[in-house]
Structure 1
């Protein structure tokens, strides 16, 4: 199956970073109090659970991956590599106040084990603008280099672990926030950020906006035997987080293509 190598490279010039209608930090926006508990899929599992059948099967096609955060601590990368894992995403940051304390071991350790790695940012759109969080992410592990072993960064958009599902934003406000982050990340790194989100949350909080599907690769969580319906615009996912109960670390993923195509995504 082909992949959304959706750094399709449509040149987006560096625009004014504060957009009309973009969410700014609320004056009383709280600093995240338990960022170590917030990882890719933590709130998806809580709000959406697994498939009704309860069956979780390893997808047959694609390239095996995993994702980790401080929740896993020091990761046995050699064991994951031996088990077939060829790529990983590692939580780097949340809001503008948190950096994963295990990030260095996880990011460098995966690289040394021969695993293609990337990092992700857990978004809190009620604490600051998308541009501010994108800059914080890039400055604390979210950058990209053309070394063939580093994936473009990912933006984790999911249910608010601290309150209102959509962080108090309107649907258009949420679209503007994501666009603000994506444009800033592109200006800083030259790459289109990978977008992690569930179809259900995306429909609820953006009105199922299709405006990112031509530029931003989709990383979708759905814990069951099939990937399920995708958000509007995307014809296929780039990465599928298919289980939270995998071997060695819980979250396992499948890249929608061969290892050669994965390397092409890393190389831009």
Structure 2
């Protein structure tokens, strides 16, 4: 499917002409960092919506606290409907190491996933291959590479092949893209019998894999978003309380925050401290569990709902 991505550099877009030119999908820049909002966001959204185009939003990731950036992005697009996965635009390292850049992406992605949003990464072929590690390579990819028939990346759901395209209805140049249907939210094809893919479960599976928890066979979980036998075997092993510190603690915090239980000013910082303990006890009380502050199988199952 043909698509474009736009920002404040494309004012006064005639979206009817854009659609009539064969474009089906338009990605709109929403935010950057923790302060910048595209001043044309609302008008571009309204125009694309009125023209019947499929819409996606992207955030340009900077070197701030990725959770704060994720919260800012979601606050700006609140009330706007998206047909496509939210895109995390990361193009430069900003002086950060590969590990730090990748960690920022993962934290941003996990926060969005914990709030029931689907995500993808937008970046260039070279940056993807050389500046990101394997921890983010399971996130769907929208890749840019100009002047080639196809990108170097083996698996991708979007391919930006030009930054100087000409489209009727847009003055000046615009990025041109080709997307597969996987760019859409809830795009996983139905299976018979129907298996529900849950992005909260998928984020949980990723977190337990990061901390080394395994099923009864000694295997890592398949990160498929299906709460089946092997995932339940891992859930049965979980015992978390005050003082814990790892990515599973961060997932617990992200779920608490998403469900309305504050973990303090530091948010999902991966440290199970006093504020998180208080949040867990409040959550357990609301869900009719023993409010002991211990995150075991019963509490995990409630957090997964």
TM-score by length of structure 2 reads 0.56
Aligned length: 185
Distance (whole Å) between structure 1 residues aligned to residue 129 and residue 186 of structure 2: 30
Unaligned runs of 5+ in 1: 1-62, 160-165
* Matched residue, 2:163: 244
SS across alignment from 1:179: helix
Q: CA deviation at 1:95?
A: 0.6
Alignment of 1:74-153 (within 5 A): 74-125=12-63, 128-141=64-77, 145=81, 150-153=83-86
Please provide the CA RMSD for this pair: 2.4
Q: Is the 8 A contact 1:90 1:119 kept in 2?
A: yes
Q: CA distance change for structure 1 residues 262 and 129 in 2, over 3 Å: closer, same or farther?
A: closer
TM-score by length of structure 1 reads 0.63
Q: Is the counterpart of residue 177 in structure 1 residue 104 in structure 2? A: yes
After the TM superposition, which segments of 4 or more aligned residues of structure 1 sit over 3 Å from their partners? 142-145, 261-268
Distance (whole Å) between structure 2 residues aligned to residue 144 and residue 73 of structure 1: 19
Q: Is the counterpart of residue 219 in structure 1 residue 146 in structure 2? A: no
SS across alignment from 1:114: coil
Q: CA deviation at 1:256?
A: 2.6
Out of 165, 168, 189, the residue aligned to residue 95 of structure 2 is 168
SS across alignment from 1:245: strand
Q: CA distance change for structure 1 residues 244 and 179 in 2, over 3 Å: closer, same or farther?
A: same
Q: Is the counterpart of residue 200 in structure 1 residue 126 in structure 2? A: yes
Q: Is the counterpart of residue 154 in structure 1 residue 78 in structure 2? A: no
SS across alignment from 2:165: coil
Alpha-carbon displacement from aligned partner over 1:64-99 (angstroms, at most 9, x marks no partner): 011100000121100110001001100000111110
Q: CA deviation at 1:252?
A: 1.0
SS across alignment from 2:55: strand
Distance (whole Å) between structure 1 residues aligned to residue 10 and residue 143 of structure 2: 21
Unaligned runs of 5+ in 2: 190-196, 198-305
Higher relative contact order (CA 8 A, sep 6+): 1
Distance (whole Å) between structure 1 residues aligned to residue 77 and residue 9 of structure 2: 17
Q: Is the 8 A contact 1:185 1:193 kept in 2?
A: yes
Q: CA deviation at 1:142?
A: 6.7
Greater helix fraction, Structure 1 or Structure 2: 2
* Matched residue, 1:210: 134
Q: CA deviation at 1:223?
A: 1.1
Q: CA distance change for structure 1 residues 143 and 227 in 2, over 3 Å: closer, same or farther?
A: farther
